[in-house]
Amino acid sequence: MFKNIYKFFDNFEDVVRAWLSRRTIIYALVGGTGVVLFWRGVWHMWDFWMAKISQNFTLTFPWWDGPLSIIIGMVLLLSTGLMVSTFIGNEIIISGLKKEKKIAEKTEDEVEEEMEKMDSIKNKLREISVRLLEIEEKISKK
């Protein structure tokens, strides 16, 4: 049963993302609204609990305001495929899939070695760029 529910929502997310990807402004508005609602809910829940703990019930919103905002925000973010990338980030996910270490865990030698590789790649790209310009000049002269 859980497998069927998961499959339904996975397909639903694919359909929503495909539709929104052709409407980027709407996609940004829906995603931004989801993020704001989620964090608004977290904020209101903490305000509610802090007021309850301190016995200061001067809050003007009901107890369910925070959880409702969190749920609506999560629904928007999950249905648009933005939940994970918004809160974790693509680079962290990719580095985890590659089983790379975090920068804080790398030694100084590893970081320097990585920087040297990146410099080498930059230099090769510059060489390719120069060669490409030379080729374009030769072609334009003919």
- What tens digit of pLDDT does each residue of 76-123 get? 888 888 877 777 766 666 666 666 666 656 677 777 888 889 999 999
Whether the CA torsion 99, 104, 109, 114 is positive or negative: it is: positive
Same domain? For 132 and 96 the reply is: no
DSSP run (H or E) holding 85: helix 83-87
Same domain? For 9 and 78 the reply is: yes
Same domain? For 95 and 39 the reply is: yes
Q: Which residues contact 82 (CB under 8 A, 6 or more apart)?
A: 31, 34, 35
Q: Which two tokens stand for residue 95?
A: 């580095």
Q: How many domains does the chain have?
A: 2
Same domain? For 64 and 12 the reply is: yes
Instruction: Please tell me the distance from the alpha carbon of residue 65 to that of residue 56, in angstroms, as a whole number.
Output: 17
Same domain? For 121 and 138 the reply is: yes
Domain boundary among 100, 119, 134: 100
Alpha helices (H) in 54-81, listed in sequence order: 65-80
Which domain, by its residues, includes 113?
102-142
Instruction: Please tell me the distance from the alpha carbon of residue 130 to that of residue 124, in angstroms, as a whole number.
Output: 10
Same domain? For 91 and 120 the reply is: no
Same domain? For 61 and 11 the reply is: yes
pLDDT of residue 128: 93
Q: What is the DSSP letter of 55?
A: T
* Angle between the N-to-C axes of helices 65-80 and 24-53, in degrees from 0 to 180, rounded to the nearest 10: 150
Give Rg (Cα) of the chain.
25
**Helix, strand, or coil here: 96?**
helix
Same domain? For 66 and 110 the reply is: no
- Comparing 19-23, 33-37, 51-55, 103-107, which segment has the lowest mean pLDDT? 103-107
Same domain? For 35 and 90 the reply is: yes
- What tens digit of pLDDT does each residue of 10-29 get? 888 888 888 888 888 998 89
